Amino acid sequence: MEATGSLGPGDPQPPGTAEGTAPMERSGREATSEEKSVGFVLVHAGAGYHSESKAKEYKQVCKKACQKAIEKLQAGALAVDVVTAALIELEDSPFTNAGMGSNLNLSGDIECDASTMDGKSLNFGAVGALRGIKNPILVANKLLSEAQKGKLSAGRIPPCFLVGEGAYKWAVDHGIVPCPPDIMATKFSLSAFRKNRRKLELAEKVETEMIQTKKRREVSENTNVTASLDTVGAVVVDHEGNVAAAVSSGGLAMKHPGRVGQAAVYGCGCWAENTSGPNVYSTAVSTSGCGEHLVRTMLARECSVALQAEDAHQALLETMQKKFVLEFLWSHTTESMCVGYMSTQDGKAKTHISRLPPGAVAGQSLAIEGGVCRLRNPVT
């Protein structure tokens, strides 16, 4: 696990330890425009290492994504479309490893993973190893919404997970504009690719020599491919109290073509679940980090399950049931994580780069931060 941004159940602990959304009552009447403008968004620009020199840019990206989401919420949009709008901003930034400026793979191509989940319907849409589409999240969202329309002609079940060339064709057939691959690579991602390729050539040369001289493998960490930021994501609560989550990633630098990471895998990249039956809370989770590890932990879903299981939350829940309190959390084991959040009551987004404490070693330490947000009463 490298990092998660999540909305979870309320908790009697102080802000910065655990978080959530309380369930809400609904009525049949139409929401007023003021009620419709209630909502919250939390975005993250990926876990990894955020240099001080680029801190301003990362924060700016998060801010823009939050503002876009809040505009949508204020226009009455539902969570699953709002989270897509936030992701588009994150993907369009050349500073994030998603959409534009994604890491290049071993062949010098950009192949993206993305997925989204709607807490209301529990529907899921995902794309893996997708080339030539500037906003992979748009395809994931479209897969989700098309599947909600029911079966295709001749009783065929609509797909929820498409990869590679087939995913590209489906996207174009469904009105998503393709993007020439060379536009998606930025000066920065190309220069990182060239540097990584040299490191790789060197590492392989060293290994060949080691095999010849029968030396044990002791390659310096400096020869490793540059660790860059991973998956971006967001979680949203809309005026009906629906939650949604999404993630998008260019994947690991120098990955093998066709490699699919956690951002495309059900239960691993994102999770969203409205209150219902045994779930006393609505929860939404978006993860970031090394895909191979995250897949094996099913982190997104596990976080959601863990948040539901907290008995201690029950007391708080009862007192806050009518208040539409949501608590949010981010947590990382990487050097840093850049997040932004905003509610419909806020004039502007708050952004923050969370860093491990001085002296802490990435991968061996964990930072957890968060907050609480009280929204105006939603539709009751």
User: Nearer to a second copy by C-beta: 195 or 322?
Assistant: 195
Does position 124 bind a second copy by CB under 8 A? Answer: yes
Alpha-carbon distance 56 to 171, whole Å? 34
Select from 4, 11, 36 the least CA-distant residue to 241. Answer: 36
Catalytic residue among 4, 231, 287, 344: 231
Does position 287 bind a second copy by CB under 8 A? Answer: no
3-state secondary structure of 48: strand
Does position 374 bind a second copy by CB under 8 A? Answer: no
User: Nearer to a second copy by C-beta: 176 or 329?
Assistant: 176
CB 326 within 8 A of CB 313: no
CB 282 within 8 A of CB 275: yes
The least CB distance from residue 252 to a second copy, in Å, is 6
Does position 355 bind a second copy by CB under 8 A? Answer: no
**Backbone angles phi and psi of 342, in degrees to 5:** -165, 140
Is 334 designated active site?
A: no
- When computed from its CA atoms, the radius of gyration of the chain, rounded to whole angstroms, is 21
The least CB distance from residue 139 to a second copy, in Å, is 11
Say how many CA atoms lie within 13 Å of 279 toward its Cβ. Answer: 23
Does position 164 bind a second copy by CB under 8 A? Answer: yes
The least CB distance from residue 174 to a second copy, in Å, is 11
Q: Which of 22, 24, 82, 295 binds a second copy (CB under 8 A)?
A: 295
Other beta carbons within 10 Å of 1: 20
Widest distance between CA atoms in the chain = 78
Q: Which of 258, 318, 322, 348 binds a second copy (CB under 8 A)?
A: 258
Look-up of token digits 């969202």:
141
Residues marked as catalytic: 231
Residues that bind a second copy (CB under 8 A): 111, 122, 124, 128-129, 147, 153-170, 196, 199-200, 202-204, 207, 219, 221, 223-225, 252, 254-261, 265-268, 290, 292, 295-296, 298, 301
